[in-house]
Amino acid sequence: GENVEQHPSTLSVQEGDSAVIKCTYSDSASNYFPWYKQELGKRPQLIIDIRSNVGEKKDQRIAVTLNKTAKHFSLHITETQPEDSAVYFCAAIKMEYGNKLVFGAGTILRVKS
Protein backbone atom coordinates (compact mmCIF):
# COMPACT_ATOMS: atom_id res chain seq x y z
CA GLY A 1 0.00 0.00 0.00
CA GLU A 2 0.86 3.67 -0.13
CA ASN A 3 3.28 5.15 2.38
CA VAL A 4 3.82 8.90 2.78
CA GLU A 5 6.78 10.42 4.58
CA GLN A 6 6.79 14.11 5.50
CA HIS A 7 9.73 16.35 6.46
CA PRO A 8 10.54 18.26 8.51
CA SER A 9 8.43 17.43 11.54
CA THR A 10 8.84 21.00 12.84
CA LEU A 11 9.82 24.17 11.03
CA SER A 12 10.42 27.64 12.44
CA VAL A 13 10.73 30.64 10.14
CA GLN A 14 10.86 34.37 10.55
CA GLU A 15 7.85 36.33 9.41
CA GLY A 16 8.27 37.20 5.76
CA ASP A 17 10.54 34.28 4.98
CA SER A 18 9.55 31.28 2.87
CA ALA A 19 8.71 27.82 4.19
CA VAL A 20 9.02 24.52 2.33
CA ILE A 21 7.59 21.19 3.43
CA LYS A 22 8.41 18.05 1.48
CA CYS A 23 6.62 14.71 1.17
CA THR A 24 7.65 11.50 -0.53
CA TYR A 25 5.27 8.73 -1.54
CA SER A 26 5.86 5.09 -2.39
CA ASP A 27 3.12 4.13 -4.88
CA SER A 28 3.92 5.40 -8.37
CA ALA A 29 0.23 4.94 -9.27
CA SER A 30 -0.87 7.71 -6.86
CA ASN A 31 -2.33 10.60 -8.81
CA TYR A 32 -3.84 13.04 -6.31
CA PHE A 33 -1.89 14.96 -3.66
CA PRO A 34 -3.75 17.29 -1.29
CA TRP A 35 -2.39 19.48 1.49
CA TYR A 36 -4.35 20.17 4.66
CA LYS A 37 -3.80 22.88 7.27
CA GLN A 38 -4.83 22.36 10.87
CA GLU A 39 -4.79 25.30 13.26
CA LEU A 40 -4.51 24.61 16.96
CA GLY A 41 -7.67 22.97 18.27
CA LYS A 42 -9.37 23.10 14.88
CA ARG A 43 -10.22 20.63 12.15
CA PRO A 44 -7.94 19.98 9.13
CA GLN A 45 -8.92 21.97 6.05
CA LEU A 46 -7.82 21.57 2.45
CA ILE A 47 -5.59 24.44 1.30
CA ILE A 48 -4.30 23.24 -2.05
CA ASP A 49 -4.09 20.06 -4.09
CA ILE A 50 -2.38 18.83 -7.24
CA ARG A 51 -3.01 16.03 -9.70
CA SER A 52 -0.34 13.97 -11.37
CA ASN A 53 -0.88 15.56 -14.77
CA VAL A 54 0.33 18.93 -13.42
CA GLY A 55 3.81 19.84 -12.23
CA GLU A 56 2.99 22.96 -10.23
CA LYS A 57 -0.03 24.80 -8.87
CA LYS A 58 -0.20 28.19 -7.18
CA ASP A 59 -2.79 29.97 -5.08
CA GLN A 60 -1.63 33.37 -3.89
CA ARG A 61 1.18 32.77 -1.37
CA ILE A 62 1.06 28.98 -1.47
CA ALA A 63 2.22 26.63 -4.18
CA VAL A 64 2.67 22.92 -4.59
CA THR A 65 5.17 21.20 -6.86
CA LEU A 66 5.16 17.57 -7.93
CA ASN A 67 8.06 15.45 -9.17
CA LYS A 68 6.57 12.17 -10.36
CA THR A 69 9.91 10.67 -11.29
CA ALA A 70 11.31 11.15 -7.80
CA LYS A 71 7.92 10.55 -6.19
CA HIS A 72 7.91 13.65 -4.08
CA PHE A 73 5.82 16.77 -3.77
CA SER A 74 6.35 19.95 -1.81
CA LEU A 75 4.37 22.79 -0.28
CA HIS A 76 5.85 26.26 -0.63
CA ILE A 77 4.61 29.20 1.43
CA THR A 78 6.06 32.60 0.58
CA GLU A 79 6.00 35.78 2.67
CA THR A 80 4.95 33.84 5.74
CA GLN A 81 2.68 35.48 8.28
CA PRO A 82 1.89 34.57 11.91
CA GLU A 83 -1.48 33.18 10.83
CA ASP A 84 0.36 30.57 8.75
CA SER A 85 1.42 28.93 12.03
CA ALA A 86 -0.31 25.54 12.06
CA VAL A 87 0.21 21.86 11.41
CA TYR A 88 0.37 20.95 7.72
CA PHE A 89 -0.43 17.47 6.42
CA CYS A 90 0.30 16.09 3.00
CA ALA A 91 -1.55 13.10 1.58
CA ALA A 92 -1.54 10.85 -1.47
CA ILE A 93 -3.96 8.51 -3.20
CA LYS A 94 -4.65 6.81 -6.49
CA MET A 95 -8.13 8.13 -7.11
CA GLU A 96 -10.28 5.14 -7.76
CA TYR A 97 -13.11 3.35 -6.01
CA GLY A 98 -12.13 1.80 -2.71
CA ASN A 99 -8.68 3.34 -2.37
CA LYS A 100 -7.74 5.16 0.80
CA LEU A 101 -6.15 8.55 1.29
CA VAL A 102 -2.86 8.18 3.18
CA PHE A 103 -1.59 11.12 5.25
CA GLY A 104 1.91 12.13 6.21
CA ALA A 105 2.73 12.58 9.90
CA GLY A 106 2.46 16.37 9.73
CA THR A 107 4.73 19.40 10.01
CA ILE A 108 4.38 21.97 12.78
CA LEU A 109 5.12 25.36 11.23
CA ARG A 110 5.90 28.27 13.53
CA VAL A 111 6.16 31.74 12.10
CA LYS A 112 8.01 34.08 14.44
CA SER A 113 7.18 37.77 14.32
Partner 1 sequence: NAGVTQTPKFQVLKTGQSMTLQCAQDMNHEYMSWYRQDPGMGLRLIHYSVGAGITDQGEVPNGYNVSRSTTEDFPLRLLSAAPSQTSVYFCASSYGTEQETQYFGPGTRLLVL
**Distance separating alpha carbons of residues 9 and 83, to the nearest angstrom:** 19
Residue 40 in contact with partner 1, rule: CB under 8 A: no
**Distance separating alpha carbons of residues 30 and 7, to the nearest angstrom:** 19
Residue 92 in contact with partner 1, rule: CB under 8 A: no
Residue 100 in contact with partner 1, rule: CB under 8 A: yes
Per the CB < 8 A criterion, the answer to whether 42 and 19 are in contact is no
Instruction: State the first-to-last Cα distance of the chain, in angstroms, to the nearest integer.
Output: 41
71 forms beta bridges with: none
Residue 105 in contact with partner 1, rule: CB under 8 A: yes
Exactly one of 32, 65, 71, 78 binds partner 1 (CB under 8 A); that residue is 32
Kindly state the smallest distance separating residue 80's Cβ from partner 1, in Å.
Answer: 22
Kindly state the smallest distance separating residue 82's Cβ from partner 1, in Å.
Answer: 23
Residue 29 in contact with partner 1, rule: CB under 8 A: no
Residue 54 in contact with partner 1, rule: CB under 8 A: no
Instruction: Report, in angstroms and rounded to the nearest whole number, the Rg of the chain calculated over CA atoms.
Output: 14
Kindly state the smallest distance separating residue 59's Cβ from partner 1, in Å.
Answer: 14
